[in-house]
Amino acid sequence: MATKTNQKFATITVIGRDKTGVVARITSFLFQQKANIEALEEQVTRGQFSMTIQTSWKEAHFQHQAIAGGLRELAADLEMEIKVRFTEPRRRQRMAIMVTRETHCFETILAALKSGGLKQADAALVISNRRDLEKMATQHNLPFVHIPWEDRAPAEKAVLEQLEKHEIDFVVLARFMKILSPNFVWRYKNKIINIHPSLLPSFPGPQAYRQAYEQGVKIIGVSAHFVTMNLDEGPIIAQDCFHVRPHMTLKEIVAAGQKLEARTLLKAVKLYLNKRLDVYWGIVKEV
C-alpha cells in the first residue's frame, strides 16, 4: 500500500456553465491517469456548475505534464475553467494574508511568524483593498499588493491571479472587510479562514459587537471559520468568549473582542497547519 511519503496530491477545481457529462469526462480522464479520487464535491447554483476534486497518485504513476496538459484540453473542450494545484503534504504551506486596515489580527500573525509559532507556513503574500498596512507588511519583508475594491468582479479576478502567481495554498482573512463571492470562495474551498466578532451563528454581518451590545448579551465571543458561499455560515474551527461586565461600554467590548479575535484566528491557523481539521457535512472536527 502506498504511504503518504510516496504519493502525489492535487486539488482540482472546475467552474463553468452547467452541462451534461462534465463529471464523467473529468473523472474518466483521472482514472486513465491512474489517479485515486479521495473526495469529490459538486453543486449547481443558478446554472453555474462548481466541482472540487481531491486526488492522489502513487509516485510511479504520476505524470505531471500529462495530467496538467490533459486538464487544459478538457477545459477548452468543455468551455469551463479547470485549475489544478499540485501539493506536497510535507512541504510548508504558502499563506496569503488579506487585510483592510485593522491591525490586531495581522500583528498577531506576524508575531507568530517571527517567533516560529507557524513553522509549517510561509507567508508568501499580503493583499489589501487599502494601503494602510503596507508599511507593516514591507517591514516584515512580505510582498504587498494593493487591489482597489470599487468593483468586486475585477478585484477578485486580480486577487485570484496573484494567488495563482504566488502558488498560494491557503488564505487568512485578518479582518479583511470585503465579502468574497461564491465564484471566488469555491476555488479555495475549506482553504480560506476568517475571524468573525460573534459566537456564530448569532450576529452575522459587519456590526456584530454593536448588535450584541444593543441586545444586552452577557457573553460575547468570536468565531474562526472556513469561508463558504453563505456569509458567516462556514464551518466553525475555533471559538472563544468573555463575560460582559456591568456598565461595560461598546468601546470596551470591541477592545476586549479584538484581543480574542487575534488569538482565536491564530489558533485556527495552527489547527489547519497541523492537519487536525476535517470538514464533514459542514462541521469541522479535530482529528
269 and 225 share a domain? yes
Contact 129, 148 (CB under 8 A): yes
19 and 151 share a domain? no
204 and 260 share a domain? yes
187 and 224 share a domain? yes
pLDDT single digits (tens) 221-275: 999 999 987 777 888 999 999 999 998 999 999 999 999 999 999 999 999 988 7
Structural domain boundaries enclosing 173: 93-286
102 and 80 share a domain? no
As beta bridge partners, residue 239 has: 223
In the residue annotation, 151 being an active-site residue is answered as: no
Q: Which one-letter DSSP state was computed for residue 119?
A: T
Cα 138 from Cα 136, distance rounded (Å):
6
pTM: 0.84
The CATH number that applies at residue 227 is 3.40.50.170
Cα 265 from Cα 262, distance rounded (Å):
5
Cα 102 from Cα 178, distance rounded (Å):
13
27 and 104 share a domain? no
pLDDT single digits (tens) 35-50: 999 888 888 877 889 8
| Owner of C-alpha cell 491571479 | 161
3-state SS assignment for residue 140: coil
Cα 169 from Cα 167, distance rounded (Å):
7
102 and 24 share a domain? no
As beta bridge partners, residue 285 has: 278
Residue of 122, 151, 232, 240 marked active site:
232
Task: Give φ, ψ of 31 to 5 degrees.
Answer: -65, -40
Among the three residues 47, 70, 87, which one is the final residue of a domain in this structure? 87
Residue 280 has pLDDT above 80, yes or no: no
pLDDT at 285: 59
